[in-house]
Structure 1
């Protein structure tokens, strides 16, 4: 039997716990896991990648999404050097963007190297960031892409990694009664292929991201959080200052299946780190 005094004490502790719990049913680690796609700083990162990583950690980011792997290096530094610098700044890299056009053409040799690189960095996701235009001209092209993604997904799974695809707006162009994006979602194995939704590009295509979450629940393990300039939709701005209703979108986080929130901004109207700090603070408030 629970005595009245203990019951009151336990109830009070439960109420306190509820009052400080995050609005979603995420753990503290997940709540604080906010990343940035380094492409946001493509104009400066090659000059001093070590300093850029240190400054990002100081803002509060703890996850880094890579891009730009070429000839064994990222921005002139080796994989081992990058890994060391991430560790030094208490950063991890759960995901990276890597070219996937070769595997779509049926050449998987380069992809084996990509898997090795991702494993060395401890990445959980290999993300295909885009598709060459000549490879996506028809529904059958997209069906071929889905087939190749499944094959690559099998290779990733064997290495303890998950394949993901990052959208732009072209995937939403109508092809009879469907779109390229629908073809990819409907023809890839959800156990092998997930999706990184770039919310800006979905909105730019005239689609409500929430409608996709509801249509394909659990398929979007990563988000690119990027806002649209109110006066010029071709430009980005700080999260919360643009025309995308992120407060409403974040309410549907659970149904989307999202595990990683990744800030990306492709242009700046103020100093880049001032802008990133504003966006980071806004996202933390939403979480």
Structure 2
């Protein structure tokens, strides 16, 4: 199956108190990878816990388009073994094609600079990238303007909140989506309403089937209960979508 990861923003309160214990709990829950946020801040504190737990960090979030010094971000990524640095949010510029083109140009420029460091650049969406422009969404317009080295991390929940048919969207952008933020809920902007993957209204099964090779990154923007238990529940559900049933495994053996 594709790698199973978790965006560390989901467990930010625990992470601030004890990074090592937090990663140990995630490793015990069966995660293969973690996705750090605020790379420059967290790289020094995550380096040793990653080594001791055996967890990998292939992707990480950093505010690339507003960074005063990109090499600092690239160095932090290298410190953790990250190979893809993802811009987590661009709030403005989605209302017209000129604004989208400016965002695309900035990401393409970052990708050119990152390539000399052996890094790939990606973009992660929220709901505001789904303005309709020229018969499609602003995110799809962006995808068409990005150079091939730039990849997408589709946040399935926020795409649904933005009004997208997420399975159709994932199918259309499958060639550019390398990572997924897998989360669920009633499809509304309030992050506190999010629920474990597979228990809400989002067609996660359809998206997972559309991009079977993409990294599955579980995330909660907010969660009122035990977030570790909710992540473990979501991870167990994701595994049911990507692993063959036991009887099929037996027949293949």
Q: State the match for 1:45 in structure 2.
A: 15
Residue 118 (structure 1) aligned to one of 59, 64, 77:
77
Q: State the match for 2:178 in structure 1.
A: 221
Residue 247 (structure 1) aligned to one of 198, 205, 209:
205
SS at match of 1:237: coil
* Offset, 1:84: 1.8
Cα distance in 1 for partners of 2:44, 2:182 equals: 29
Cα distance in 2 for partners of 1:195, 1:44 equals: 28
Q: 1:1-40: per-residue Cα shift (whole Å, max 9, x none)?
A: xxxxxxxxxxxxxxxxxxxxxxxxxxxxxx1620000011
Cα distance in 2 for partners of 1:246, 1:141 equals: 30
Cα distance in 1 for partners of 2:108, 2:2 equals: 31
1:73 aligns with 2:73: no
Q: 1:185-234: per-residue Cα shift (whole Å, max 9, x none)?
A: 111112x200000000111111112222332331100000000137x663
Q: State the match for 2:166 in structure 1.
A: 209
Q: How many residues align structurally?
A: 240
Cα distance in 2 for partners of 1:201, 1:102 equals: 22
Segments ≥4 residues shifted beyond 6 Å: none
Q: State the match for 2:100 in structure 1.
A: 142
* Structure 1 segment 85-234 matched on structure 2, within 5 A: 85-102=49-66, 109-133=68-92, 135-190=93-148, 192-229=149-186, 234=190
TM-score (norm: length of structure 1): 0.78
Contact persistence 2:10–2:221 (CA under 8 A): yes
The structure whose Rg is larger is: 1
Q: State the match for 2:225 in structure 1.
A: 270
SS at match of 2:238: helix
Cα distance in 2 for partners of 1:259, 1:200 equals: 16
TM-score (norm: length of structure 2): 0.87
Contact persistence 1:38–1:66 (CA under 8 A): yes
Q: State the match for 1:280 in structure 2.
A: 235
Where does structure 1 lack aligned partners over 5 or more consecutive residues?
1-30, 104-108
* Offset, 1:154: 1.2
SS at match of 1:159: coil
Q: Give me the CA root mean square deviation.
A: 1.9
Where does structure 2 lack aligned partners over 5 or more consecutive residues?
243-253
* Offset, 1:140: 1.1
Q: 1:86-137: per-residue Cα shift (whole Å, max 9, x none)?
A: 010010100111012326xxxxx5212111111111111100000133x545
Contact persistence 2:127–2:162 (CA under 8 A): yes
SS at match of 2:23: helix
